[in-house]
Amino acid sequence: MKNEVVLITGASSGIGKAAAEYLMRKGFHVYGTSRKALGNIEAQDEPTGGFIRMIPMDVTEDGSVIDAINLVVEKEGHIDVLVSNAGAGVAGSVEDVSMEEARVQFDINFFGTLRVIKAVLPLMREQGHGKIIAVSSVAGVISIPYQAHYSSSKYAVEGLAEALRYEVAPFGIKVCIVEPGDTRTGFTKSRITAQKANNKSPYHERFTRSLARMEKDEQNGASPISVARVIHNMIMRKNPPVRTAVGFQYKFILFLKKILPGSVLEKVVGLLYN
């Protein structure tokens, strides 16, 4: 896999940045994307031949996505791996989050993922191989109160990736999902709070308590490098599993969801976040 080309969306911070740096050290040619990138900037080089180049891409804009992919193809001639990682979070009760705020959430997390995948698929089909790794979340399997729109967008990503996995297998393309749990990144500070989730909201007290618990767990969570290692492992596997949770505790939690009655799981989540 040495010197294969990887495109990572949302690579300027957090999990995306950690994955870009980790894969660079392993010898990959990494093209990281960010809305704020100025152009084709060679950020780092390794003796292994690996490097990171940051390029501009806004996953909510068709033209921006196409331009970034064309730039990589001009430089490399192919894209072997897509890590679809760009994402955002909107916090608030279902009632307080406006329709526009909900659209923004889905436009980044779901439609942004879909937009980039659709843009790379023709290239991967023509070359007869490729891997698509969708970064989802444990919250895409277990819904979290006051994060309903974030959870829903990640559920949608999971459904997309599962169906896509069947469709593209005949073309030599592998699709898998990586599900981080609480991870120590700048995502916590960048989370958007719904405008109506203020002290006038009937949900305010519970929402504030739930959000504080979530932010504490995130800032005491795993390093993003742990997610980067899992992403690398999925790249290296010939036939990666459909989904992989990051961290033993989250694997265990998702296993419990399969065997526990729904009422029990509901009580546990309620105690944690309500």
Q: Which active-site residues does the annotation give?
A: 12, 136, 150, 154
For CA atoms 170, 174, 179, 184, the dihedral sign is negative
Strands 51-56 and 41-45: antiparallel
**What's the rounded Cα separation, in Å, for the pair 145 and 121?**
35
CA 274, distance to chain mean position in Å, is 25
Q: How many helices (H) and strands (E) does the chain have?
A: 10, 10
Q: CA quadruple 52, 57, 58, 59: dihedral positive or negative?
A: negative
Q: Are 84 and 133 in contact (CB under 8 A)?
A: yes
DSSP three-state, residue 255: helix
